[in-house]
Amino acid sequence: MDAASGANPPFVHFVRVGWGDCDPARIAFTGRLAAFALEAIDAWWEHVVGADWYRMNIDRGVGTPFVHMTLDFRSPVTPRHRLACEVRLLRLGASSVRLGVRGRQDGRLCFEGQFVQALLRAPDYIKFEVPEDVLAKLRSAVVAGESRWEGPDKIALDRGPA
């Protein structure tokens, strides 16, 4: 927690970009950037809720399929530096979450995106009441991250439908 503001710092997941992640142009293949963002989101779930997607689905019966994702590319990603993926909860809806991910290398913004996940009962993917302990942890992430996201469409954090 930041003593000055009282807010939690954003969650950051670090990725080692390797040669095998690159295309013939010697930069990270576009599909790998989406995979890096998804890896960061999975790590965010484990950090905030205490369970990654696998454990949420198998152990808790909470499915989190993606229903929307966008990525805007700003600068090439290469194996020269670690990729820092910042994840923030932008919206918590009744049955969905909207997360923002920003990828930076060496202080330079490389990509930013938004990802919406439905919260459904696994394995049949039917709407249900998400366990209260999971919702409480997600709500705490909303409160901790209530600053505005300076993304491409400047989404303000709210508690309405994602």
Q: What is the pLDDT of residues 108-138, one digit of tens each?
A: 999 999 999 999 998 898 988 888 898 899 9
122 within a domain of the structure (yes/no): yes
* Res 60 pLDDT > 60: yes
Give the per-residue pLDDT at 128: 85
Residue 161: pLDDT band by 50, 70, 90 thresholds? Answer: very low
CATH number of the domain to which 75 belongs: 3.10.129.10
User: 37 lies in a domain?
Assistant: yes
151 part of a folded domain: no
Query: What is the predicted pLDDT for the residue at 129?
Result: 81
Span 59-73, mean pLDDT?
Answer: 95
Q: What are phi and psi of 105, to 5 degrees?
A: -130, 130
Let me know if residue 160 belongs to a domain.
no
Number of domains present in the structure of the chain: 1
**40 within domain boundaries:** yes
Q: Which domain holds residue 21?
A: 11-144
Does the residue 61 lie in any domain? yes
Alpha-carbon distance of 112 to 162, in angstroms, equals: 18
